[in-house]
Amino acid sequence: MNKVILEIRAGAGGDEASIFAFNLVRMYQRFAEIKKWRFVVLDSSENALGGIKTLFAQITDPSGSNLYELLKQESGVHRVQRVPATERSGRVHTSTASVAIMPEVEEKQVNINPRDLEITTFRSSGPGGQNVNKVETAVRILHKPSGIVVASQAERSQMGNKERALAAIRAKLYENQVQEEQVRLGNLRRDQIGSGDRSEKIRTYNFPDDRITDHRIGKKWHNIEKILEGNMEPIIKAFQK
């Protein structure tokens, strides 16, 4: 599985949650650059401050390593504790963003009825929302039974964007199937990305103490800014051990 779909959503905390989601996107994007992986944003929505509300991206390793095994521990609710740039009184706020890492699966692994898809096209947009194409090459797909919506404007062709959007939908449907199977087997667990509530956390980024804590393995790391610039190797290696 040398391809994965990354989904990031701002959680509790308003604008600060969106800014934190942007920080996480940047962290994974920089880490991909360091590892010489391809990081392609399929679709994203921003707030007025440049934060990320939601983002879908595809990460690919041309050398063929199993990205899902390397990154699956990133799935869950990430919590940040810091003084937001918009906070005048200097009070520390707590905000969250949810991350999902999903393996990109083949068509035969997930059966999608074409009649269940609602496909619309639109012009690709650049920074500020202006249209950058004169033709409608961007594609948005709604999977009606599940309500999953994914758009892609990463490719120059409509067909290419359709394929990328379908790949993201298959990944989400596959993850849903895996979770349903676990429930049937009696291994009930929470949805991978939870509700985004502050209490549902896998990792905390504490800026006042310059400390990142992973609550599942009890490990701590310092130099938050360095890690958010893509230097995630210590965290990845801790889970590999």
pLDDT digits (tens, 9 = 90+) for 176-214: 887 776 666 565 444 445 555 545 689 999 999 999 999
**For residue 183, what pLDDT is reported?**
66
**Pair 72, 59: CB distance under 8 Å:** no
1: tokens are 């599985």
Q: CATH number of the domain at 108-184, out of 1.20.990.10, 3.30.160.20, 3.20.20.120, 2.40.37.10? A: 3.30.160.20
Domain range annotation of the chain? 3-105+192-233, 108-184
Burial of 139 (0-12, 13-18, 19+ CB in 10 A): buried
Q: CB–CB of 23/228 below 8 Å?
A: yes
**100-109, 130-139, 220-229: range with lowest mean pLDDT:** 130-139
The mean per-residue pLDDT over the stretch 26-51 comes to 91
Beta bridge partners of 52: 46
240: part of which helix (H) or strand (E)? Answer: helix 233-240
Q: Which CATH entry fits the domain spanning 3-105+192-233: 3.40.50.80, 3.30.565.10, 3.40.50.300, 3.30.70.1660? A: 3.30.70.1660
Longest dimension (CA), the chain: 55
Cα-based distances in Å from 15 to 47, 51, 91, 200: 7, 7, 15, 19
Buried b (16+ CB within 10 A) or exposed e, 30-41: bbbeebebebee
- For residues 5 and 240, give the distance between their C-alpha atoms in angstroms, rounded to a whole number: 20
Q: Are 21 and 114 in contact (CB under 8 A)?
A: no
% of the chain residues with pLDDT over 90: 55
Q: Answer for the pair 148, 133: CB distance below 8 angstroms, yes or no.
A: no
pLDDT band, residue 13 (cuts 50/70/90):
confident
Q: What is the pLDDT of residues 74-133, one digit of tens each?
A: 999 999 999 887 777 778 889 999 999 998 887 778 888 889 999 999 887 654 444 445
